[in-house]
Amino acid sequence: MFEVSPEMQKTLDTIRRFVDEELIPLEADFLGKEFTTLEPVLAEKRQQVQKLGLWLPQIPKEYGGLGLTLFEHGLVSRELGRTPIGHYTFNCQAPDAGNMEILIEHGTAEQKERFLMPLLRGEIRSCFSMTEPEFAGSNPVMMGTTAVREGDSYIIDGHKWFTSSADGAAFAVVMAITNPHAENKHLRASQIIVPLDTPGFELVRNISIMGEAGSGWASHAEVRYHEVRVPLSNCLGAEGAGFAIAQERLGPGRIHHCMRWLGIAERAFDLMCTYSLRRQIAPGKTLADQGTIQGWIAESRAALNAATLMVMDTAQKIDKHGQYAARDDISLIKFHVAGVLQQVLDRALQVHGGLGMTDDTPIAWWYRHERAARIYDGPDEVHKWSAARRILQRYL
């Protein structure tokens, strides 16, 4: 069992009130319109968050954040996950949060001044450009994008998609092959910062996801790099360290994802319980009187409690011993929590009936967009395979 300090609980209570009072009322606009139309309103909400002293919860204090541990930020992420616009409003949204973290850890003084500081202040957005349509995303060492040295520059050529939030972003962190002949395949790629106003960068389209293309931060772009020239100094970390840096951000990132998913599932659970008590199916009878619905509620509550404990235990292991010591746990929570999320969302939608298919609640939006939880950051099958392989090794 995990304990939350009184100070941290006070912070969580403040965040929960802010989400309930300031953000959830905006959801109808978010679900029914392009994200870019909501940005001016969210800019005001972001200023409120900064005044409350809750900006950048995952970032060290010396960089203007709250300096929360991974465990503590997991609790915050669960609260923010209760609305689709929670993380963005607190400036701890993917992919910016991950880019902040790797820039803090690996960026040069020049890179931090030019790219990190405006990102931390919320003045710009960024994106992470890794996945390619021609290669399996589950094998991150396979990619066709190259960055060839020419004098004091890299010339980048390649085709990427699911470069989330590229629409309106100021820069991308691009994974590209810089050392194609390296004997160790994990040392072939580098991460390179590319300002998106650089000649040769093309945003081909915002990809339609389950019927929605999205815009701005809430988009997933297909992009091309046509002989994009950037200075060698834009390499993030050492040349050839791209894979290692990517792995470094994935462990903690999966805690963020899992706790966000639990926040979504908790909100869906609340909606399911509330609606089942309100929806009459016969005179004097509601959905909540039905044994099937009661079973779903009990099973969902048990699954949410168990998943939360799993994730928080993993977060504490990473905080104390590093992510390598929690490799099995990271894989287990990734596929297990994604499954719990899908199950709770499906039950909530079913309880709402026809209403659940509409955008009058956020359930249908999550049902469409969070099906990807079982795919991105490693599909279920890969996490099960890798965890089982390591577990079985201990029995040899």
pLDDT in tens, 165-178: 999 999 999 999 99
pLDDT tens per residue, range 338-353:
999 999 999 999 999 9
Give the residue among 194, 191, 192, 190 at the shortest CA–CA distance from 203.
Answer: 194
Lowest mean pLDDT among 163-167, 248-252, 280-284: 248-252
- Summarize the confidence of residues 147-173 as an average pLDDT: 97
> Cβ contacts of residue 242 below 8 Å, gap of 6+?
175, 176, 178, 189, 190, 191, 236
Tokens of 262: 């639990």
Q: Which class is domain 6-107?
A: mainly alpha
pLDDT tens per residue, range 31-80:
877 888 899 999 999 999 999 999 999 999 999 999 999 999 999 999 99
pLDDT tens per residue, range 375-384:
998 899 999 9
List the beta bridge partners of residue 173: 128, 193
For 326, what's the count of Cα atoms within 13 Å in the CB-facing half-sphere? 24
- Per CATH, the number for 126-236 is 2.40.110.10
Q: What SS3 class is residue 158?
A: strand
Rounded CA-CA distance 51/267 in Å is: 26
Given a cut of 90, whether residue 181 has pLDDT beyond it is: yes
- Per CATH, the number for 244-393 is 1.20.140.10
Given a cut of 70, whether residue 277 has pLDDT beyond it is: yes
pLDDT tens per residue, range 196-220:
999 999 999 999 998 888 899 999 9
Rounded CA-CA distance 371/363 in Å is: 12
C-alpha torsion 106→108→111→117, nearest 10: 80
pTM: 0.94
* pLDDT attached to residue 126: 98
CB 65 within 8 A of CB 50: no
* pLDDT attached to residue 280: 93
Rounded CA-CA distance 114/231 in Å is: 14
* pLDDT attached to residue 217: 94
Q: Do domains 6-107 and 126-236 have the same CATH topology?
A: no
* pLDDT attached to residue 1: 58
Domain residue ranges in the chain: 6-107, 126-236, 244-393
Whole-number mean pLDDT of the chain?
95
